[in-house]
A and B are shown apart, each in its own frame.
Chain A
Amino acid sequence: MSENPRLARLLEHPALWRGRSAAQVATWPTGFPALDTGLPGGGWPRAGLVEILTPRLGVGELHLLIPVLSRLAKLTPARWIAWIAPPFEPFAPALAARGVALERQLIVRTGAPLWAMEQALGSGACEAALAWVQGQARPRSLRRLQLATARGRTLGFVFRSAAAARETSPAELRLAVAARGNGVEVVLIKSRGGTTRPVRVEFGGVDGWQG
């Protein structure tokens, strides 16, 4: 952690608090080492709201989550992974080929994603919930989602347009994701102790996109 052993010993003192200490949260590895080192706690929070802002749908934001979804779908005891108001049909053969257990997926079609998202996050029946929110979402409704993640110990992902980056949000983690070459570039707009530099995540060509 530190090259100076005396400094390291000093930092172990319980009375000493540093900005990064707040990031001592339980996490799941993202599956991309570059992203793990950039995120607070070294991965996606186990319970909390993550906002993912993209300039448009399909720049690679779902591929970013495939490793963690595949991991969460193998956990015992089993809980669901809810897809709230997905923009297209989640293609089952592709998910199965990437190791995401299909019997744990719960697809919810709705015009009111925030309500369904709050139910899914707060029920405790889901390991993770993904919601695609079009247009405006008031900070108050996002705050409700954030509280629901704590209630249900659930990881929540909300996909919104990049235009929402300027709005305030109570989400624990806000990422802007944009396509770069054969991968994506992730910028942490808001985090509790994460990196401030953009993180490049490579999927490795079309083969990598296959998972």
Chain B
Amino acid sequence: MVGKAKGLGLRAESQKAHADASGSPLSALSPERSSACAQSAQAEELWLALHLPAIALDAVRREGDGSQPIAVVELAQRVQRIVAASPAARERGVAPGMALAAALALEPQLDVRSRDAGAERALLERLAAVAGEVTPRVSLEPPDGVLLEVRGSLALFGGVDALHEQVSAAARRSGARVRLALAPTPLAALAGARAPRARAQAAFRVMHRAQLVGALAPLPLATLRLPPDVLARLAKMGVTGIGAALRLPRAGLARRFGPATLATLDRLVGRSHEPRRDVSRRERYRARHEPAYELTEQPAVIAFVTPMLEALEEFLRRRQGSITALECRLQHRGGTATRCRLRFAQPAFAAASIGFLLTERLAAIALAAPVRACELVTSRLVPRRSASASLWQPGEHGGGLANEAPELIERLRARLGEESVHGLCLVPEHRPEQAWKRDGALRAPTHASSEQRAEDRKRQAADNERQRLLAASCPLSAVRPLWLLSAPLLLPAGGDAWPRYEGPLEKLAGPERIETGWWDGRDVERDYYVVRSGAAVLLWIYRERRPPNEWFLHGVFG
């Protein structure tokens, strides 16, 4: 679904570029051509608009509100005025626009609440989150609308009627009364949803561009939310419906009411594209469950957490998201908690793989006390990227790695600890112990694209050149052992000038002097030798040039 919607978006973008290139709305472009090409490219979009006619009231609704008269007031020009009233209040004559004093005179029992813009916005965002279950393309239309692009979802949810039913049921559950309308352009859907409608009248529903203008014609112009002065001047000309406005000559309309008005009408009928910004969700998952009895054993804890992970997977599936970190808090009596934090090498979403890692981690934790409650808290959701699986297994006929590499790292790190698994990288340094370092940020070895390979080759060539220069500057630099001791080992002095290590040592090469690092306080002054020990092992030893001139074993050739 995501992929499809993305494809649509791209096509719409290219269409927009086309429309822009064809000139301003005032140019002598023939409207037929413009609308024809717009139609061919955008015919596939279908927008479902959710209009909340009573958002002020819905936002301040509380649990347990019955049929008592409620009114929402807002301070405007130093007078508290009613902006919305419940049906019970309206029956007693309380109407929007009325001063609060007048409303209270009509209905002394009136439950007066002040308007809460924050709660209204939160309600819209809640609706957008619910709508995310139907389509990934959801955008907000403040103050009282939400738009969903649903063409790709129609088949999945069983047609327009089923989708309609599902969205309105979901909206009701989130505590909002909505009016729905379907149209091929966002603005037409909004206009259809905003238009006042008689009780028995069917919802505004236009499936195809060809029927759009005809269906829009009877709607009042006010549903487009044009600036009030434009509306007033149009009304003076006798233009109050959308149909009448669309019949006006384009050039004259633009000259008298500004290009913005013409652009609005063009967006309405789909002559120009209206780009919409999709809501990006910034949510986390948090769930807390208490077992019927206290859990004392690890397996019991794991068995208790497993269904929670399955719920998490379902949550992530609905949002097509994945998580990069998860914290499992095991709460004990007395408010203490054991925390178990997982970080994933790549975004995870499958309950099975998360459960495996959590099991490994929990097995390593000693439970201090019985567990009274489990809480799962995730990191912020990131969009799920699903790669197509390879036909071949890795290592078989050139099959590449998919998820195996990060899974292996996660598995090893979950059991052995974060710092036990690392890679290697070079540091341009003469001191052997500082010429390399551990690379904790392990990336899966990939050979993805040809550009990347070309870049690799370029980097490789640069590396080789650097190595060559390094070797030229220091001819003995290639005589290096494969093993380095993490700390040099002090060797006992032998009878002659040579030290001993499990017997006498036989010199094969050296000395190679390494004397550097005076600038950072860890300077070295050493003479390195390659020697063979009595057990025929090649060793790399050095002698400090500073007194007391001790000998150290630093490497094994292996």
Contacts and interface: CB of A to CB of B under 8 A. Distances in A.
A56 B481 contact: no
Contact of B436 (A57, A93, A127): A93
Interface residues of A, number: 57
Contacts of A154: 395
Contacts of A120: 408, 412
Query: Is chain B's interface secondary structure helix, strand, loop, or mixed overall?
Result: mixed
Given A61-B558, A77-B394, A125-B394, A106 B480 contact: no
Given A116-B412, A125-B407, A94 B482 contact: yes
Query: Is chain A's interface secondary structure helix, strand, loop, or mixed overall?
Result: mixed
B426 interface: yes
Given A56-B537, A58-B558, A94-B480, A119 B445 contact: no
B558 A92 contact: no
Interface string B156-179: 000000000000000000000000
A153 B480 contact: no
A76 B447 contact: yes
A110 interface: yes
A152 B395 contact: yes
A78 interface: yes
Given A78-B445, A79-B394, A116-B416, A56 B411 contact: no
Interface stretch (A7-15, A34-42, A83-91, A164-172): A83-91
B483 interface: yes
B256 interface: no
B480 A78 contact: no
Contacts of A62: 482-483, 558
Given A61-B558, A91-B484, A94-B482, A106 B421 contact: yes
Given A94-B481, A102-B424, A206-B530, A78 B395 contact: no
A92 B426 contact: yes
Given A105-B424, A107-B422, A123 B447 contact: no
B478 interface: yes
A95 B530 CA distance: 17
Interface string A54-67: 01111111110010
Contact of A88 (B405, B412, B486): B486
Contacts of A210: 478-480
A97 interface: yes
A108 B416 CA distance: 9
Nearest to A209: B557
B452 to A, nearest CB: 11
A79 B395 contact: yes
Contact of B401 (A47, A91, A106, A124): A124
B208 to A, nearest CB: 48
A77 B408 CA distance: 17
Interface in A175-211: 178-180, 206, 209-211
- Name, among B395, B421, B447, B539, the residue most crowded by chain A CB atoms within 10 Å (CB to CB): B395
B447 to A, nearest CB: 5
B455 interface: no
Contacts of A20: none
B412 to A, nearest CB: 6
Nearest to A76: B447
B547 interface: no
A50 to B, nearest CB: 16
Contacts of A89: 436, 483-486
Contacts of A97: 467, 477-478, 480
Interface string B392-419: 0111101111001101110110011000
Contacts of A109: 416, 420-421
Contact of A59 (B412, B483, B508, B536): B536
B435 interface: yes
Interface residues of B, number: 56
A98 B445 CA distance: 20
Contacts of B5: none
B394 A124 contact: yes
A36 B538 CA distance: 25
A107 B438 contact: yes
Given A102-B423, A119-B412, A125-B401, A92 B395 contact: no
A73 to B, nearest CB: 9
Nearest to B416: A110
Given A62-B482, A206-B509, A95 B395 contact: no
Nearest to A127: B395
A106 B394 contact: no
Interface string B366-382: 00000000000000000
A179 B416 CA distance: 34
A201 B102 CA distance: 106
B284 to A, nearest CB: 30
A102 B538 contact: no
B425 interface: yes
A90 B483 contact: yes
Nearest to A77: B400
Contacts of A153: 393-396
B448 to A, nearest CB: 9
Interface string B535-554: 11111000000000000000
Interface string A101-134: 0111111111000011001100111110000000
B263 to A, nearest CB: 52
A58 B407 contact: no
Nearest to B425: A102
Contact of B421 (A76, A107, A209): A107
B436 A91 contact: yes
Contacts of A80: 405, 408, 445
8 contacts: A56-B537, A77-B400, A88-B555, A91-B555, A92-B425, A93-B436, A98-B482, A125-B394
In order of increasing CB-CB distance, the 5 nearest A-B pairs are A92-B436, A179-B536, A78-B445, A62-B558, A77-B400
Interface of A: 47, 55-63, 66, 76-80, 86-98, 102-110, 115-116, 119-120, 123-127, 152-154, 178-180, 206, 209-211
Given A106-B421, A178-B536, A211-B478, 5 more contacts: A58-B558, A78-B400, A125-B407, A126-B408, A179-B536
